[in-house]
C-alpha cells in the first residue's frame, strides 16, 4: 500500500426534504448567486425549494450552464459576480453546473491574468469564493470533491483542475430530486460512477490494498444491483438513495487512498466528447471495454477480482467474460458501447489519435498508453 494523506471537509446533508437546510449553511448576510443549467430544476420543484430557502438572502441567478460546461459561459457568471459584489455561490443541478461553479468560484478571485490558465497551465488558485450545492444528478461525485472539468468551446479543449479551495462548503443530496431524471441521464450517471471506480481499482497487479479493493467492490456492487432498478422504477426512494450515495463515494477521494490510478478511459473519452459531442458517460461506455481488452495482461489480477467479486465469474475465461459482463451492464442501463451505435466510426479514431499524439500524453497507471495504443483500443470499439 502506498503512503497517502487524506482530508475531505465537505458537509453532506442527505435525504428527503433537506433542501431548506441550506438556509442554515450559507453564511448570514451573504450575497448569493444561484447557478443552474437548462431549467429542469424548474420542472421538478427543486428551484422553488431553493428560492424559498434563500428568502432571507440577497440573491441573483445565472442559468444556461451547459453539459460539459464552457469556459466562455463561466466567464459571463464571473462578470455578474464582480458587478453585483456576490460572495457566495449556490449550485443547483448536476455535476456540470457544479463543476462550472467551482471554476467560477476560483476565476472570480483570480488576479494573475486570464483564469483559463488555471486549466491550461495549472496556475495556482490562491483564493476562491465559498460555494455550496444541491446536487440533482448522481454521477460525477463533484458534490464531495474539489475537482472540475471545463471545456473551452473555441478550441474544444476539455481540461480539469482541483484545489483545496474548491471543495463545496456543503452538498445537499435529496434522492427525490432524481425521480424525474430522463432514463438517459440516469443511465449515464450509473456508468459514470462505475467508471470512476474502475479508474481507481482496475490497475496493475497490486494485491496489497485489500481494504480499498473491498470498498471499491462495495460501490460497484451497489451500482450493479440497484442501477437497472432505477430505470424500471424511477420513483423507488431507496434505490435512488443507494445510487446517489454510491456515486458520491465513487469519487470522493477515499478509494484512491494508497492505490495507483488509471484515468485513461476518461482522458480518451474527454477527447471524443470535445470533438464529437457525445455524452461523457457514452464515451466511457465505449472506451472502458477497449482499455480492459488491450491492457488485459497488465490488469489481469484486478479484472479477475472484479469478475469474481462483482459478477460471480470464475474459471479459465474469466477475463473475457468479465469484460463482456461490464459491457452488458452498460447496455442494461441503456448506454450503448460502440461508436457505430452513435453513428460514428473511423473518423473518431483518426481525430482522437491525432490530438493525443500532438499532446504527447502517455496515459494509464503505468504511463504506457500512447497514441498508438489508443488507436488499438478505439479500433476494437467501432
Residues that bind a second copy (CB under 8 A): 1-18, 21, 175, 208-212, 214-215, 217-219, 221-222, 225-226, 237-238, 241-242, 245-246, 249, 257-258
Q: 60 in helix, strand or coil?
A: strand
Q: Which is nearer to a second copy, 134 or 348 (CB)?
A: 134
**Structural element, H or E, at residue 115:** none
Using alpha carbons only, how large is the chain's radius of gyration in Å?
20
Beta bridge partners of 234: none
Q: Any residues with CB less than 8 A from the CB of 382 and at least 6 apart, and which?
A: 338, 339, 340, 345, 346, 349
Picking from 245, 40, 242, 18, the residue whose alpha carbon sits closest to that of residue 133 is 18
Query: Is the Cβ of residue 157 or residue 226 nearer to a second copy in the bound state?
Result: 226
Nearer to a second copy, 155 or 238 (CB): 238
Q: CA 256, CA 175: separation in Å to the nearest integer? A: 25
Q: Which is nearer to a second copy, 84 or 221 (CB)?
A: 221
Q: Would you call 152 helix, strand, or coil by DSSP?
A: strand
DSSP annotation of 46: H
Q: From the CB of 308, what's the least distance to a second copy, in Å?
A: 13
Q: Which of 103, 182, 198, 185 is nearest to 139 (CA)?
A: 185
- Cell of residue 296, nine digits: 488485459
Q: Report in angstroms how near the CB of residue 225 gets to a second copy at its nearest.
A: 6
- Backbone region of residue 344 per phi and psi (left: phi > 0; alpha: psi in -120 to 50; beta: other values): beta
Considering beta carbons, is residue 81 or 255 the nearer one to a second copy?
255
Q: How far is the CB of 4 from a second copy (least distance, A)?
A: 5
CB of 195 vs a second copy, minimal distance in Å: 18
Indicate the residue among 238 and 368 with the shorter CB distance to a second copy.
Answer: 238
Contact 17, 174 (CB under 8 A): yes
The nearest distance, CB 62 to a second copy, in angstroms, is 27
Kindly tell me which of 7 and 360 has the beta carbon lying closer to a second copy. 7
> Which CB, 103 or 249, lies closer to a second copy?
249
Considering the complex, state which of residue 12 and residue 374 has its C-beta at the smaller distance from a second copy: 12
Task: Compute the least distance from the CB of residue 91 to a second copy, in Å.
Answer: 18
- State in angstroms the smallest separation of the CB of 126 from a second copy: 19
Between helices 237-250 and 183-201, what is the axis angle to 10°? Answer: 40
What is 78-140 written as a DSSP string? HHHHHHHT--EEEEEESHHHHHHHHHHHHHTT--SS-THHHHHT-PPP----EEEEEE-S-SS
Work out the burial of residue 312: count CB atoms within 10 Å of its CB; fewer than 13 is exposed, 13-18 middle, 19 or more buried: exposed
**Residue 343 burial by Cβ neighbours in a 10 Å radius (0-12, 13-18, 19+):** exposed
**Which lies closer to a second copy via its Cβ, residue 5 or residue 28?**
5
CB within 8 Å of 219: residues ≥ 6 apart: 193, 197, 246, 249, 250, 255
Q: How far apart are CA 224 and CA 250, in angstroms?
A: 13
Q: How far is the CB of 145 from a second copy (least distance, A)?
A: 15
In the complex, least distance from residue 207 CB atom to a second copy, rounded to whole angstroms: 9
Contact present, 69 and 99 (Cβ < 8 Å): yes
CB of 297 to a second copy, least distance (A): 23
Amino acid at each position: 500500500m502506498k503512503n497517502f494523506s487524506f482530508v475531505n471537509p465537505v458537509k453532506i446533508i442527505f435525504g428527503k426534504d433537506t433542501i431548506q437546510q441550506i438556509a442554515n449553511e450559507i453564511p448570514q448576510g451573504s450575497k448569493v448567486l444561484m447557478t443552474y443549467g437548462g431549467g429542469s430544476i424548474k420542472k421538478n420543484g427543486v428551484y422553488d425549494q431553493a428560492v424559498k430557502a434563500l428568502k432571507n438572502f440577497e440573491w441573483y441567478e445565472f442559468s444556461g450552464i451547459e453539459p460539459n460546461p464552457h469556459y466562455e459561459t463561466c466567464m459571463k457568471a464571473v462578470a455578474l459576480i464582480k458587478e453585483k459584489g456576490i460572495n457566495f455561490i449556490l449550485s443547483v443541478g448536476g455535476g456540470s453546473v457544479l463543476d462550472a461553479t467551482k471554476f467560477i468560484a476560483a476565476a472570480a478571485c483570480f488576479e494573475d491574468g486570464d483564469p483559463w490558465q488555471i486549466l491550461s497551465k495549472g496556475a495556482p488558485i490562491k483564493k476562491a469564493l465559498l460555494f455550496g450545492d444541491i446536487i440533482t444528478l448522481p454521477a460525477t461525485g463533484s458534490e464531495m470533491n474539489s475537482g472540475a472539468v471545463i471545456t473551452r468551446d473555441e478550441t474544444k479543449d476539455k481540461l480539469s483542475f482541483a484545489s483545496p479551495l474548491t471543495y463545496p462548503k456543503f452538498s445537499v443530496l435529496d434522492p427525490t430530486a432524481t425521480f424525474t431524471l430522463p432514463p438517459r441521464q440516469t443511465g449515464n450517471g450509473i456508468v459514470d460512477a462505475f467508471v470512476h471506480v474502475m479508474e481507481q481499482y482496475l490497475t496493475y497487479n497490486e494485491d496489497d490494498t485489500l481494504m480499498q479493493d473491498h470498498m471499491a467492490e462495495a460501490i460497484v456492487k451497489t451500482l450493479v444491483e440497484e442501477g437497472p432498478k432505477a430505470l424500471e422504477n424511477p420513483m423507488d426512494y431507496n434505490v435512488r438513495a443507494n445510487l446517489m450515495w454510491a456515486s458520491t463515494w465513487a469519487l470522493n477521494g477515499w478509494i484512491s487512498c494508497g492505490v495507483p490510478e488509471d484515468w485513461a478511459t476518461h482522458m480518451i473519452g474527454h477527447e471524443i466528447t470535445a470533438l464529437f459531442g457525445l455524452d461523457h458517460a457514452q464515451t466511457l461506455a465505449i472506451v472502458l471495454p477497449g482499455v480492459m481488452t488491450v491492457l488485459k495482461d497488465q490488469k489481469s489480477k484486478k479484472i479477475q477480482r472484479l469478475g469474481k467479486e462483482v459478477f460471480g465469474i470464475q474459471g479459465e475465461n474469466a477475463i473475457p467474460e468479465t469484460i463482456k459482463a461490464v459491457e452488458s451492464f452498460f447496455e442494461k442501463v441503456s448506454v450503448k458501447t460502440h461508436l457505430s451505435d452513435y453513428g460514428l466510426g473511423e473518423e473518431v479514431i483518426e481525430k482522437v489519435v491525432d490530438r493525443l499524439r500532438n499532446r504527447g500524453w502517455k496515459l494509464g497507471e503505468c504511463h504506457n498508453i500512447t497514441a498508438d495504443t489508443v488507436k488499438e483500443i478505439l479500433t476494437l470499439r467501432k
